């Protein structure tokens, strides 16, 4: 594979000039630039990335570590990050931690080894591994969930308030026994959504009971099981707040199997405005989170931190929007 010295030889200049010409640094004679460019094209020269990064001590790459590639919420974040990063010539490498602390840790190690310019991540429960980034001085931004023990830039959604509003909406619609299916304990969004749910019940002077609450993985199967359990009780819920769209799939499937009509028999509001939410019958009421915007904001914060890592950590909280549809109307 062609090296810079090959290009230099072909253009009849030194390697330094080739490097300067190709990177637009310093002033190089127009004619020489053209000659270098021509030689590079003819040889199909592509600079050796590792050599460049080794010398520069940094790669124009940001790592994005998300907890689930198959969750549209996170892929929308990814798209936001990508769009912003590309504008300024950075590449994004997408890593899937699968809610596993071990995989997250592994990807963080790789990010450090590869000397990426920065990291954006949706942290899983354990946080110890993130400390490594801080120790190394690698800029990073947390999205969706805060880091318990680290100071950092944060981009969050005001999910507790959103959960509260959604629950209040169910109350207002006249549902009596409102339940909640949320994510695993310790996952901040799951905890917050549960807290918001409880806030709303409290404001409405309803007593909340753990009998109407289930916590499971943020996946369809867990939610399916939870819904079956809840609905099989002597005093089943007549409405449910569901913490993400994959879970909503599980719940809807359970209702379908038991011949229970959403909206009429059991009111539903789920987090995340999936593309299919309007297609089910009745249309699903949702809490729409600004996922793409989370991505763009996080990317901009990261870029700012890459150029100045001394800036004080900031927290950006974005609002979510309740979209009332048929599934929460009797």
Contact set with its own copies (CB under 8 A): 1, 44, 46-54, 59, 69-70, 72, 75-76, 78-79, 82, 91-96, 107, 109-110, 112-115, 132, 135-136, 220, 246, 249, 252-253, 256, 274-276, 278-281
127 binds, among DNA, its own copies, none (CB under 5 to 8 A by kind): none
Residue choice 52, 106, 132, 258 for contact with DNA (CB under 7 A): 52
Tokens of residue 30, six digits: 């127009």
Burial class (CB in 10 A: 0-12, 13-18, 19+), 5: exposed
Question: For residues 52 and 177, which CB has a smaller minimum distance to its own copies in the complex?
Answer: 52
Place of tokens 């974005």: 318
Residue with token string 């949702």: 286
Measured from the CB atom, the residue of 27 and 57 that comes closer to its own copies is: 57
State the binding partner of 34 from DNA, its own copies, none, CB within 5 to 8 A by kind. none
Q: Does 87 bind DNA (CB under 7 A)?
A: no
> Could you identify the residue written with the tokens 């939870």?
226
Q: How many CB atoms lie within 10 A of CB 214?
A: 21
Q: Which two tokens stand for residue 278?
A: 């309007």
Residue 81 CB, shortest distance to DNA, in Å, is 25
**Hey, is 303 helix, strand or coil?**
helix
Q: Choosing among DNA, its own copies, none, which partner's interface includes residue 72 (Cβ < 5 to 8 Å by kind)?
A: its own copies
Single residue of 22, 60, 110, 260 touching DNA by CB under 7 A? 22
Phi-psi sector, 113: left (phi>0), alpha (psi -120 to 50), beta: alpha
| Residues whose CB falls within 8 Å of the CB of residue 96, separated by 6 or more in sequence, listed in order | 65, 66, 67, 68, 69, 103
Return the biggest CA–CA distance within the chain: 87
310 near DNA, rule: CB under 7 A? no
Count interface residues toward DNA (CB under 7 A): 29
Token pair of 281 as six digits: 């019958």
CB of 248 to its own copies, least distance (A): 9
Asked whether position 3 contacts DNA by CB under 7 A, the answer is yes
> Which residues sit at the interface with DNA, rule CB under 7 A?
1, 3-5, 13-20, 22-23, 25-29, 32, 45, 47-48, 51-52, 54-57
């Amino acid at each position: 594979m062609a090296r810079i010295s090959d290009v230099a030889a072909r253009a009849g200049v030194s390697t330094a000039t080739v490097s300067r010409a190709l990177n637009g640094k310093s002033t190089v004679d127009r004619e020489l630039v053209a000659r270098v460019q021509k030689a590079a094209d003819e040889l199909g020269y592509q600079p050796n990335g590792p050599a460049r990064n080794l010398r520069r001590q940094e790669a124009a790459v940001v790592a994005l570590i998300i907890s689930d590639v198959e969750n549209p919420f996170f892929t929308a974040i990814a798209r936001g990050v990508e769009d912003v990063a590309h504008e300024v010539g950075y590449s994004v490498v997408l890593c899937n931690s699968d809610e596993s602390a071990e995989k997250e840790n592994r990807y963080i190690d790789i990010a450090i080894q590869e000397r990426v310019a920065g990291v954006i991540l949706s942290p899983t429960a354990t946080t110890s591994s993130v400390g490594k980034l801080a120790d190394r001085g690698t800029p990073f931004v947390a999205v969706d969930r805060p880091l318990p023990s680290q100071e950092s830039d944060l981009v969050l959604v005001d999910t507790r308030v959103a959960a509260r509003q959604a629950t209040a909406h169910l109350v207002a619609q006249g549902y009596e026994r409102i339940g909640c299916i949320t994510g695993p304990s310790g996952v901040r969004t799951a905890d917050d959504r549960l807290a918001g749910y409880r806030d709303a019940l409290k404001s409405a002077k309803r007593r909340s009971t753990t009998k109407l609450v289930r916590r499971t993985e943020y996946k369809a199967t867990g939610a399916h099981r939870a819904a079956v359990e809840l609905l099989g009780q002597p005093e089943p819920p007549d409405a449910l707040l569901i913490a993400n769209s994959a879970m909503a799939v599980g719940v809807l499937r359970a209702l379908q199997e038991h011949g229970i009509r959403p909206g009429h028999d059991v009111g539903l509001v789920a987090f995340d405005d999936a593309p299919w939410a309007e297609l089910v019958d009745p249309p699903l009421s949702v809490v729409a989170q600004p996922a793409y915007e989370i991505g763009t904001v996080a990317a901009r914060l990261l870029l700012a931190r890459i150029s100045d890592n001394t800036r004080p950590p900031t927290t950006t909280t974005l609002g979510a929007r309740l979209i009332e549809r048929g599934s929460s109307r009797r």
